[in-house]
Amino acid sequence: MSSGACRNGNHRTATRPHGSGFRPSSFKPRLPPSPSHGPGDVRRSSPASLGGPFKDSDGVPGRVRVAVRLRPRNSEELVADADFADCVELQPEVKRLKLRKNNWDADTYEFDEVLTEYASQKRVYEVVAKPVVESVLDGYNGTVMTYGQTGTGKTFTLGRLGDEDTADRGIMVRAMEDILADVDLGSDSITVSYLQLYMETIQDLLDPINDNISIVEDPKTGDVSLPGATLVDIRDQQNFLELLRLGEAHRIAANTKLNTESSRSHAILMVHVKRSVAGEDAFSTENGNTSHLIKPLRPLVRKSKLVVVDLAGSERIHKSGSEGHTLEEAKSINLSLSALGKCINALAENSAHVPVRDSKLTRLLKDSFGGTARTSLIVTIGPSPRHRGETSSTILFGQRAMKVENMLKIKEEFDYKSLSRKLEIQLDKLIAENERLQKSFEGEIERINVESQSRISEVERNFAEALEKEKLKCQMEYMKSVKELEEKMVSNQTRNHRDDLIDVKRINEGIGASISSEVSEIRMLLNTEIARRKAAEDEINILGSQLAQYRHPEADGDTEIYRLRKNLEEEIRQKRKYEEEAIVLRSQLVQMNIEADQTRRCLERGDLGDAFTLNTRVDQSRNMQLRENGNGQKPSIAALSEQVGLHKILTLLESEDATIRIHAVKVVANLAAEEVNQAKIVEAGGLTSLLMLLRRYEDEMVRRVAAGAIANLAMNEVNQELIMVQGGIGLLSVTAANAEDPQTLRMVAGAIANLCGNDKLQMKLRTEGGIKALLGTVRCGHPDVLSQVARGIANFAKCESRLASQGIRSGRSLLIEEGALPWIVHNANDESAPIRRHIELALCHLAQHEVNAKDMVTGGALWELVRISRDCTREDIRNLARKTLSSSPTFRAELRRLRVDY
Ligand SMILES: Nc1ncnc2c1ncn2[C@@H]1O[C@H](COP(=O)(O)OP(=O)(O)OP(=O)(O)O)[C@@H](O)[C@H]1O
């Protein structure tokens, strides 16, 4: 087990540690600080260690490095050994040491580093300790330890503070300087504990009361820790120096004969370095997606430890002259050192059993020898030949230590605490941000609410003010303009009368000319038809005689008879058709005659009513009116009816031929205009046929004339009910909805207006859409239509009023409920006198019932009533309006409120 030695000039090299390549400068290399040194990398069979074989270590091999340092002769040795040469001779350049056996013989040893008595503290640190410190900074554990005889400079090498001369600073001070320079105290931490092992008791040099600290071993990792030791955070070098001074003060030092300042305990400085390193993304998922909210890196923490051990002196007891308590101390020291020696021997020899548990020192240094730490050992020796034995023993200790192989392993783990702290901070920030946003949103909503409320109030206020102003203004303007209008009306009436005379004359001339040409054209057609009929009759006669011939027994076969029969049937059908056409033409002729007669009469009478009345009359006469011709003769249309027969005419209403159908319906309409015919038409099913025409035919003209005929029939109360029973209101409503032609709308509106005058039909008219249909016809804006609508409304209002005063009906007017009031008010002052009169009457009827008063006030009808009471040209209506105004409490109150006299 002994180191290689050179005897009798033979050079013997030290036995190389098992499993490691020796390199002369092996203190220097620094381990790669890569995280790849972590779990999962290179695996090799573990060498023996103080703690036994590694079970789960992965790492890189790292042999214990050993340097030898020679102390210069002290003052005593300079005197006492003045005549003697040093017991050692150093060859630093080849890292060898010669230990003299005598004047001619020496043993030679190789070390990792050979430090002469002239080696500066700086150099010692750099070649021995600095690589270890760098490893610690990279995340590995590290140990720097001194071993040697009392007084050979162990404490000098490690613990000098350099108070007087900074060049004297020892390894502890320099190591801390480097550590502080490398770490970031914002994220990293340095903590220190300082202990001494004295007579197998671990004492806290930073807190001497704490004098029995236990060693705790992690059963899984085998890591050794001293949880009872004081841990002090180091923030700066000064702070550290104070701690060292404090520790030194507490370190027990007993005087011995050999060294008045001899350390009687093993001093252990532990520097814990905890460094944060960025790891991989903490929230990475298998497919690489990450949380969109929080993406911190998974923090890794490297926890490493630098252990600096200043062993007590390894002198021989008999030499030291120890006795009593000091002897006990010496025994204890020797015991622990010899336990360390034994362990190192066992490790050096790769022995199966390493007696770690023999002393607390070996338990504490379990990781430093054969463990995971990078370890540097400095063996200190003195030059005195008197202590050659101790020197030799120290050298051999160093040689054996060089054989110990460690497996360096990075101490890295996830910093869950830090991660949790970071996440908590982030969460707090998010919560605070969320609360801030929520508050600002709530504030904003509140502000918007307040603002909108104030705007709404302002708008309401402005609106009310504007409304009030406008009302007053209108009232004033109204009163003022009444007079002006009166004046204008008088002058307009005079002018219109003059213009109307001119217009009527022009129109009559045009109509007369057009009717004359139409009459002569129809006459020609009739003559042609009569000629054709005569020819047809002649042909029938010829065919009849031919048939008689063929019926003779000698006639040719049945085929010819059949053909002739067919011809005969066809001729008969043709004949009927010609007859129908003749009827139609005759009816047209009669109509034309009637129109011409009437026009002529109008012109002769010089009927100078307004153009509307005249046009209406002409048009009505064309379509539906059939009156006495003034000379007592029956109208031609009645004669036609007698000639052809009403039943026959009604049959023609269903003719397939559109032209015949149109002429037939015109004839029926003319007949229906005569009161004496109305009952006959209805009895013969004419009403049903006319309604059928409304239902079936798309042709607008047919529907227009049919509606006109129905309107004529609807003048009779019995017929009105029949029309309703046969669904006439619905059909008239549909016709009104689809019609474009104002004349069609006029006919429909006229028919409905007639129905509106029937007390019994009020509700039905409403429920079957009659009132809506009537109001709908105003869309065309034609005065004829408006006139019919106004008439219908007046009829309806009159019926309602009658029923209400009889107590049969109560409640709001159906006209108001159907939304007729705005139209009534809007057209109440229409320039057309018939329209105006009808509406004025309707308003008076509506106003007679208090239940309608409120709607009339809000709808503006009150003002129209006031106007009617003042301006209406008809005295009866004027009086009626006044009566209603004075009898209605609602009207009275409103007029009082508006300060209007009536
Ligand atoms: N390399 C050196 N250069 C100059 N003086 C030294 C050197 N080494 C040691 N000394 C001096 O030698 C004396 C003893 O040194 P030191 O106390 O460090 O020895 P030690 O090995 O720690 O002894 P002990 O084991 O008894 O504590 C001290 O006065 C110290 O200053």
* Ligand 1 atom 14, closest CA: 151
Cβ neighbours around 360 below 10 Å, total: 19
Distance 381 CA to ligand 1 centre (A): 10
Decide: 665 and 706 in contact? Cβ < 8 Å: yes
Distance 256 CA to ligand 1 centre (A): 14
728-738 vs 717-725: helix crossing angle, rounded to 10: 80
Q: CA 688, CA 668: separation in Å to the nearest integer?
A: 12
Dump pLDDT digits (tens) for 192-207: 999 999 888 899 999 9
Q: CA 596, CA 593: separation in Å to the nearest integer?
A: 5
Q: CA 865, CA 871: separation in Å to the nearest integer?
A: 10
Q: CA 181, CA 390: separation in Å to the nearest integer?
A: 39
Q: CA 270, CA 248: separation in Å to the nearest integer?
A: 14
Q: Counting atoms of ligand 1 from 1, which one is nearest the CA of 148? A: 21
* Buried-state track 630-643, b at ≥16 Cβ within 10 A, e below 16: eeeeebbbbebbee
Cβ neighbours around 247 below 10 Å, total: 22
* Domain assignments of the chain as residue spans, ordered by start: 35-282+311-413, 736-902
What are the backbone angles phi and psi of residue 310, rounded to the nearest 5°? -105, 95
Q: DSSP for 626-655?
A: ----SSSPPPHHHHHHHHH-HHHHHHHTT-
Distance 890 CA to ligand 1 centre (A): 126
Strand residues in 545-619 grouped as ranges (E): none
Distance 160 CA to ligand 1 centre (A): 10
SS3 state of residue 699:
coil
Least Cα distance to 109 among 339, 342, 397, 385 occurs for 397
Cβ neighbours around 275 below 10 Å, total: 22
Q: Please tell me if the CB atom of residue 382 comes closer than 6 angstroms to any atom of ligand 1.
A: no
Distance 5 CA to ligand 1 centre (A): 27
Q: Please tell me if the CB atom of residue 74 comes closer than 6 angstroms to any atom of ligand 1.
A: yes
The burial of 677, by beta-carbon neighbours within 10 Å (0-12 exposed, 13-18 middle, 19 or more buried), is given as buried
* Ligand 1 atom 31, closest CA: 156
Q: Please tell me if the CB atom of residue 645 comes closer than 6 angstroms to any atom of ligand 1.
A: no
Helix (H) or strand (E) run with residue 396 in it: helix 388-401
Give the tokens for residue 720.
């009105």
Per-residue model confidence (pLDDT) at position 602: 56
Q: What is the ipTM of this complex?
A: 0.98
Per-residue model confidence (pLDDT) at position 32: 45
Per-residue model confidence (pLDDT) at position 649: 83
Residue owning tokens 């010819």 = 560
Least Cα distance to 669 among 609, 786, 750 occurs for 750
Tell me which residues of the chain have a pLDDT lower than 50: 1-26, 28-57, 253-260, 282-294, 318, 504, 507-508, 511, 553-555, 606-634
CATH of the domain spanning 35-282+311-413: 3.40.850.10
CATH of the domain spanning 736-902: 1.25.10.10
Q: Please state, for a pLDDT cut of 90, what percent of the chain lies above it.
A: 35
Q: Counting atoms of ligand 1 from 1, which one is nearest the CA of 314? A: 25
Q: Counting atoms of ligand 1 from 1, which one is nearest the CA of 69? A: 1
Distance 312 CA to ligand 1 centre (A): 12
Residue ranges of the alpha helices (H) in 674-741? 675-683, 686-696, 700-713, 717-725, 728-738
Distance 155 CA to ligand 1 centre (A): 6
Per-residue model confidence (pLDDT) at position 224: 86
* Ligand 1 atom 1, closest CA: 71
Per-residue model confidence (pLDDT) at position 392: 93
Distance 159 CA to ligand 1 centre (A): 10
Q: Please tell me if the CB atom of residue 384 comes closer than 6 angstroms to any atom of ligand 1.
A: no
Q: Please tell me if the CB atom of residue 261 comes closer than 6 angstroms to any atom of ligand 1.
A: yes
Give the tokens for residue 785.
């239509």
Length of the chain equals: 902
675-683 vs 686-696: helix crossing angle, rounded to 10: 80
Regarding beta strands 405-408 and 60-63, do their DSSP bridges make them parallel or antiparallel, or are they unpaired? antiparallel
Regarding beta strands 106-110 and 266-281, do their DSSP bridges make them parallel or antiparallel, or are they unpaired? unpaired
Q: Counting atoms of ligand 1 from 1, which one is nearest the CA of 157? A: 18
658-672 vs 611-623: helix crossing angle, rounded to 10: 120
Helix (H) or strand (E) run with residue 547 in it: helix 416-550
Residue type, 574: Q
Mutate to test the pocket of ligand 1, among 70, 146, 259 (most ligand atoms within 8 A of CB): 259
* Ligand 1 atom 2, closest CA: 71
Distance 89 CA to ligand 1 centre (A): 19
* Ligand 1 atom 13, closest CA: 151
The response to whether 256 counts as a known ligand-binding position is: no
- From residue 404, alpha-carbon distances to 19, 108, 223, 345, 407 in Å are 9, 20, 19, 9, 10
Q: Please tell me if the CB atom of residue 387 comes closer than 6 angstroms to any atom of ligand 1.
A: no
Cβ neighbours around 569 below 10 Å, total: 10
Q: CA 397, CA 389: separation in Å to the nearest integer?
A: 12
Decide: 33 and 23 in contact? Cβ < 8 Å: no
The response to whether 149 counts as a known ligand-binding position is: yes
Mutate to test the pocket of ligand 1, among 118, 147, 155, 169 (most ligand atoms within 8 A of CB): 155
Q: CA 552, CA 557: separation in Å to the nearest integer?
A: 11
Q: DSSP for 847-900?
A: HTSGGGHHHHHHTTHHHHHHHHHHH-SSHHHHHHHHHHHHH-HHHHHHHHHTT-
Dump pLDDT digits (tens) for 863-900: 899 999 988 888 889 999 999 998 999 999 988 888 77
Q: Please tell me if the CB atom of residue 313 comes closer than 6 angstroms to any atom of ligand 1.
A: yes
Q: Which residues face 412 on adjacent strands?
A: 302
Q: Counting atoms of ligand 1 from 1, which one is nearest the CA of 311? A: 25
Per-residue model confidence (pLDDT) at position 636: 55
Per-residue model confidence (pLDDT) at position 33: 45
Q: Please tell me if the CB atom of residue 169 comes closer than 6 angstroms to any atom of ligand 1.
A: no
What are the backbone angles phi and psi of residue 269, rounded to the nearest 5°? -100, 125
What are the backbone angles phi and psi of residue 315, rounded to the nearest 5°? -75, 165
Q: Please tell me if the CB atom of residue 76 comes closer than 6 angstroms to any atom of ligand 1.
A: no
- From residue 627, alpha-carbon distances to 630, 634, 718 in Å are 8, 9, 22
* Ligand 1 atom 11, closest CA: 153
SS3 state of residue 283:
coil
The response to whether 162 counts as a known ligand-binding position is: no
Cβ neighbours around 832 below 10 Å, total: 16
